Structures are given as C-alpha cells and as structure tokens.
Amino acid sequence: MTKISLKLFAATLALASGPLFAQAIQVQDAWVRTTVQGQKGTGGFMKITAKEGARLVGVSTPVAGVAEVHEMKMEGDVMRMRAVPVLDLPAGATVELKPGGYHLMLQDLKTALPKDTTVPLTLTFEDAKGVRSTLALKVPVAVTAPGAAPGATPAAAHKH
C-alpha cells in the first residue's frame, strides 16, 4: 500500500468506528415532556443500554439553546438538580433517565413543544478508548411516559 492508501484506510476506519459503536448502544422508551408557550425548559427521559459500556458525554437539539444531562437527588431535606458532564453507562446495564433522577434538561426553548410532535435529539457517547460516536433520535413529545398508566401526572412521577 502507498502512503495515500494507508491514510484513506485509516480515515475509513475512523469513520466506521462511530456508527459501529453507536449500534452497541440501545435507547428505549424515549420521550420529552410537553410545554406551553413561553415555557423555557423541559425534561427528556429514556432508557440507555450500552453493550460494552460507555459514557454519555453530550446532548444537543435544535429546539433548545442549552441541552444537558442533569441529576436530581435529595440532599438532606432538599431536592437538588445539577448538570453532570458525564453519565457512566456500565456494560450491559440499563441506565434510566427519568423524572426525579438523571434526565435530559432542555433549556432556553426556542418554541413550545406540543403533545404528539417530535423533537430531534443527538446523543454523544464515548467508549472506553475515548472514541466518540453520536446517535440521532426523533423523540415523541408527551405529557407522561409512553405506556404510563392513564391519569398519571408529571407531579406523580416526581413523587412529591
């Protein structure tokens, strides 16, 4: 092989690693909570399983100025929410992003997100070797999780 063909092979391998890696990550039951006109933030929820283990290192969407992974947890008697730069996805384990726990936070919304529409989300993952890959999703907008019991409310899902 010449130098040029080796470079082409390396570039092809680098491009292939993203999509191949993304196939080892499964996202289920994804949804984004509906909003009303003027509301500036909402949450996104899903279950993520990484076959080989990975880390969720980023999220983006054109509908929000800011999209981050957040964690809600009790500190004493106060529920606190904070952004987390990285969410570990242990090999074979399902990590649930849900109300009251880890979730996606979409802030500075550019428009209302009405029920029965979809939101494009791009998740960025990193494997154990530091190789990054993205996964593009179209996520339904809903009042409650898909398959939730009739009458379930977002407040009930937060358990407070």
What domain count does the chain have? 1
Residue 104 has pLDDT above 50, yes or no: yes
Full residue range of the structural domain in which residue 134 is found: 29-141
Q: Is residue 99 part of a domain?
A: yes
Question: Residue 4: is its pLDDT beyond 70?
Answer: no
Mean pLDDT for the chain overall: 82
Answer for the pair 125, 57: CB distance below 8 angstroms, yes or no. Answer: yes
pLDDT above 70 as % of the chain: 78
Segment 142-158 shows an average pLDDT of: 63
Residue 148 has pLDDT above 80, yes or no: no
Q: Has residue 62 got a pLDDT over 60?
A: yes
Spatial neighbors of 71 by CB under 8 A, at least 6 apart, are 81, 82, 84, 101, 102
Query: Which of helix, strand or coil describes residue 53?
Result: coil
In-domain check, residue 154: no
For the chain, how big is the Rg over CA atoms in Å? 18
Instruction: Give the tokens for residue 149.
Output: 């019991």
Q: What is the CATH number of the domain that holds 98?
A: 2.60.40.1890
Per DSSP, the three-state class of 62 is: coil
pLDDT at 23: 60
Tell which residue, 58, 46, 53, 52, has the closest CA to residue 83.
Answer: 58
Please give the DSSP secondary-structure letter assigned to residue 34.
-
